[in-house]
Amino acid sequence: MPEKRYLMTPGPTPAPPEVLAAIAQPVVHHRGPDFKQLYAECLERLRQVFRTESEVLLFGGSGTGTMESAVANLCSPGDRVLVVSAGYFGERWASIADAYGADVDHLRYVWGEIPSAEDAAARLAEREAVALFFTHSETSTGVVSDPQPFAQLAREAGALSVVDAISSLGAVPLETDAWGLDVVASGAQKALMTPPGIALASVSPAAWERSAIATSPRFYFDWERTRKGQATLDAPVTPPVSLVAGLNVALGMLLDEGLEAAFERHVRLGRACREGLKAMGLELFSPDDDSSAVVTAARAPEGVDSGELVLLLRDRHGVTLAPGQGELKGKIFRIGHIGYYDVFDITTALAAVELALIELGADVERGTAVTRALEAFERTPV
């Protein structure tokens, strides 16, 4: 019998069988009526999940593609932008803006720190910028920041707010319109429970105005071409039709559960994961509070390389966790709990970590993690 595999990373994430079944349907033509109906429904559901009245643009591409689209459509070469980063993905904003010739002011924190809105406001007061780029859920560290103060300070300084919500959308609260977020960049392969390949961006009226004057070259990720196509349900390029069918089902499931109920589930999964890891005697790297509802990061115990732990988990137990990225390589491992997850996924991950750590010779507390996780999941209402 083939070994059972458990995908427990913060992206890609497992897709529900209903989503996979929709993707397995015969391919439809993207200019025919079958697709148009599906496309319209999916775009409408996206607006509900983003909580916006604005158009949500849908591209075939990875999450980074939609980040690049934000830079290409908002910036002209030489424009000053402020990037606030505290991890691997925040730094990606700086790399992309730099590649497009923007004048990047980089407010860079040590990975794992929580960026401060006051610092960002001070930077913008010193040096004006056309846009502020930041990260809602920094998947490399497990830190989820509150986007609201950043959006507000950007607005007060006359800058657009652009947020990477690739791992947060659908997992933790995000109010595109109510919080005044100009651009929300996301992807479908994380909390939206769809196999990789769809990139998403919501664009506010102010961001549309900016994009009309921004001169960076763009074609595939040109927002205006995509908006025009979506307005008549006639995409400018072939969309990933089968993935759109899957995403539409996934969004339906999420909206049926209710966004608030989904957010609560993620908080409880985070609690279960943290309590289980601590019960083993491990030290958390991500914050030990309910903001850590996307991914839980823990330090590997003394003498254990976290990369080795992740490999052993995969090879011996079929469990895929995420290692540390960049400067956290070898030091931390990450358990994703977004999308199609329940508490038994957490207990499976914890049980496997416990076995693997024992095998690696670490001194961990045996037999308590699963119980503590289940208790933490049940115990207190959110």
Binding site for ligand PLP (CB under 6 A): 11, 62-64, 89, 135, 137, 139, 164, 166-167, 187
**In the complex, which residue's CB is closest to ligand PLP?**
63
Q: In terms of Cα–Cα distance, which of 346, 311, 348, 314 is closest to 330?
A: 311
Q: Which is nearer to ligand PLP, 164 or 354 (CB)?
A: 164
Structure-block tokens of residue 95:
């790399």
Q: Which is nearer to ligand PLP, 162 or 280 (CB)?
A: 162
Q: Which is nearer to ligand PLP, 189 or 347 (CB)?
A: 189
Q: Which is nearer to ligand PLP, 56 or 279 (CB)?
A: 56
SS3 209: helix
Q: How far is the CB of 133 from ligand PLP (least distance, A)?
A: 11
Q: How far is the CB of 168 from ligand PLP (least distance, A)?
A: 7
Cα–Cα distance, 160 to 171 (Å, whole number): 24
Q: How far is the CB of 144 from ligand PLP (least distance, A)?
A: 10
Angle 111-116-119 from CA coordinates, rounded to 5°: 110
Cα–Cα distance, 52 to 48 (Å, whole number): 7
Q: How far is the CB of 360 from ligand PLP (least distance, A)?
A: 27
Cα–Cα distance, 144 to 179 (Å, whole number): 16
SS3 129: coil
Q: Which is nearer to ligand PLP, 197 or 276 (CB)?
A: 197
Q: How far is the CB of 338 from ligand PLP (least distance, A)?
A: 9
DSSP 219-234: STT-HHHHHHHHHTT-
Q: How far is the CB of 57 from ligand PLP (least distance, A)?
A: 15
Residue 217 burial class via C-beta count within 10 angstroms: exposed 0-12, middle 13-18, buried 19 and up: exposed
112 in Cβ contact with 249 (< 8 Å): no
Q: Which is nearer to ligand PLP, 89 or 179 (CB)?
A: 89
